[in-house]
């Protein structure tokens, strides 16, 4: 699974908005010509021309740029205005009000559950006011028309709301499952890539700690892999508590990556030492065994335009230096003073 798959909702809404824009752009031009030349509804026709231009602009823009919330909001508001205004100025026999049945589904697809609900109830209210205040609903029977519109709209609204609620819940659950290490509950490598590439907008003063448990293979050999797995679970829990303001990822068998921003190099190294000391002082009770372990930590500071792989390689380089110098230590190159920080 790649990062794009984690943003399925965004890609869904972009595709829906793009092709709805093309469809509505073409249809609006057709209806504009019809209303300007046949129905004598010139004001509505001009609105439809403007709406068509907006739709085509969004269609071409989405070919090169990511979708933005305001684009969907304006799309929904604009088409809603045209439907309500058209129902207000045109005779019921023109059938403009029929388009209201399409809109709840569009709202939920483009805006999600919360905004979809708000737009749907506002449209129902405005459309009801317009139809109730019509002097005549001919050739329809007033009561029959109102009841059919109301019930049909509510059914479509309910289906749209239920579908979007279920889709949103399953999307969140799948995203969570995809980004968690199944053993420890820490983030996995995919989660780290997602955090670095998508969620992390400001990377100034970002530090990555690469934590490797010393001689962990000996624990597996001595106590068995079941015990080793339980030790990893305890270690992950300890890292989450000790590194509460950052992100914890398991990226290898006994290797963890910790990412956070710090105000200074000194603050970053202090937290790295805190993590190292917490592991050293922790005695893990598993299956009547009392296990103590240590860790070597390599620290790397993010450089402008640096990729995640480059940052990981820098931290890995410092990690191996910490191991070469005796393990159970924190290693970081103090570039400013051309010295090495070994804690």
pLDDT digits (tens, 9 = 90+) for 101-147: 999 999 999 999 999 999 999 999 999 999 888 877 777 777 788 88
State mean pLDDT over 200-224: 89
- Going by C-beta distance under 8 Å and a sequence separation of 6 or more, which residues neighbour residue 10? 66, 67
Q: Work out the number of other CB atoms within 10 angstroms of the CB of residue 144.
A: 10
Which pLDDT value is given to residue 6? 61
Which pLDDT value is given to residue 258? 96
Per-residue pLDDT band at 27 (split at 50, 70, 90): very high
Catalytic residue of the set 10, 199, 202, 254:
254
What mean pLDDT value characterizes the chain?
89
Cα–Cα distance for residue pair 265/137, rounded to 1 Å: 74
Residue 183 phi/psi, 5° resolution?
-85, -55
**Residue of 219 and 174 predicted with greater confidence:** 219
Nearest 5 degrees, angle CA 200-CA 9-CA 76?
A: 110
β partners of residue 25: none
Which sign does the torsion angle of CA 340, 203, 177, 8 carry? negative
Which pLDDT value is given to residue 340? 46
Condensed to tens digits (0 to 9), the pLDDT of residues 172-184 reads: 888 888 889 999 9
Per-residue pLDDT band at 3 (split at 50, 70, 90): low
pTM of the prediction?
Answer: 0.69
Condensed to tens digits (0 to 9), the pLDDT of residues 72-86 reads: 999 999 999 999 999
Cis status of the peptide bond prior to 302, with omega within 30 of 0: no
How many helices and strands (H and E) does the chain possess? 11, 8
Condensed to tens digits (0 to 9), the pLDDT of residues 301-315 reads: 998 888 999 999 999
Q: Which of 28, 70, 68 is nearest to 51 (CA)?
A: 28
- Label residue 100 exposed, middle or buried (CB < 10 Å: 0-12, 13-18, 19+): buried
Q: What is the DSSP letter of 65?
A: S
And the tokens for 49? 């021309």
Q: Work out the number of other CB atoms within 10 angstroms of the CB of residue 80.
A: 21
Which pLDDT value is given to residue 238? 96
Active-site residue, 202 included: no
Q: Work out the number of other CB atoms within 10 angstroms of the CB of residue 38.
A: 9
Residues 160-198, buried b or exposed e (16+ Cβ, 10 A)?
A: bbeebeebeeeeeeebeeebbbeebebbbbbbbbbbbee
């Amino acid at each position: 699974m790649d990062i794009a798959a984690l943003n399925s909702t965004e890609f869904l809404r972009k595709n829906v908005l793009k092709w709805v824009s093309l469809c509505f752009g073409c249809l609006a031009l057709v209806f504009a010509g019809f209303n300007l030349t046949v129905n004598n509804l010139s004001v509505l026709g001009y609105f439809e021309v403007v709406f068509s231009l907006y739709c085509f602009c969004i269609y071409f823009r989405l070919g090169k740029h990511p979708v933005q919330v305001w684009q969907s909001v304006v799309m929904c508001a604009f088409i809603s205005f045209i439907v309500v205004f058209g129902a207000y100025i045109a005779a019921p026999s023109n059938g403009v009000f029929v388009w209201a049945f399409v809109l709840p589904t569009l709202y939920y697809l483009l805006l999600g559950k919360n905004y979809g609900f708000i737009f749907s109830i506002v449209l129902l209210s405005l459309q009801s006011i317009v139809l109730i205040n019509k002097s005549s609903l001919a050739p329809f029977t007033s009561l029959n028309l109102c009841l059919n519109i109301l019930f049909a709209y509510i059914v479509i609204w309910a289906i749209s709301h239920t579908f979007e609620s279920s889709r949103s819940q399953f999307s969140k659950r799948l995203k969570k499952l995809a980004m968690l290490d199944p053993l420890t509950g820490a983030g996995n490598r995919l989660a780290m890539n997602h955090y670095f590439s998508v969620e992390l907008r400001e990377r100034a003063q970002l530090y990555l700690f690469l934590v490797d448990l010393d001689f962990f293979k000996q624990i597996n050999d001595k106590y068995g892999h079941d015990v080793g797995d339980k030790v990893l679970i305890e270690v992950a829990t300890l890292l989450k508590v000790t590194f509460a303001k950052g992100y914890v990822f398991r990226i290898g068998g006994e290797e963890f990556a910790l990412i956070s921003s710090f105000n200074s190099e000194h603050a970053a190294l202090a937290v790295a030492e805190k993590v190292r000391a917490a592991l050293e002082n922790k005695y893990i009770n598993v299956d009547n065994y009392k296990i103590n372990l240590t860790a070597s930590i390599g620290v790397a500071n993010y450089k402008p335009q640096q990729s995640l792989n480059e940052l990981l390689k820098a931290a890995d380089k410092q990690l191996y230096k910490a191991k070469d110098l005796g393990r159970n230590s924190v290693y970081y190159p103090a570039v400013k003073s051309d010295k090495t920080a070994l804690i």
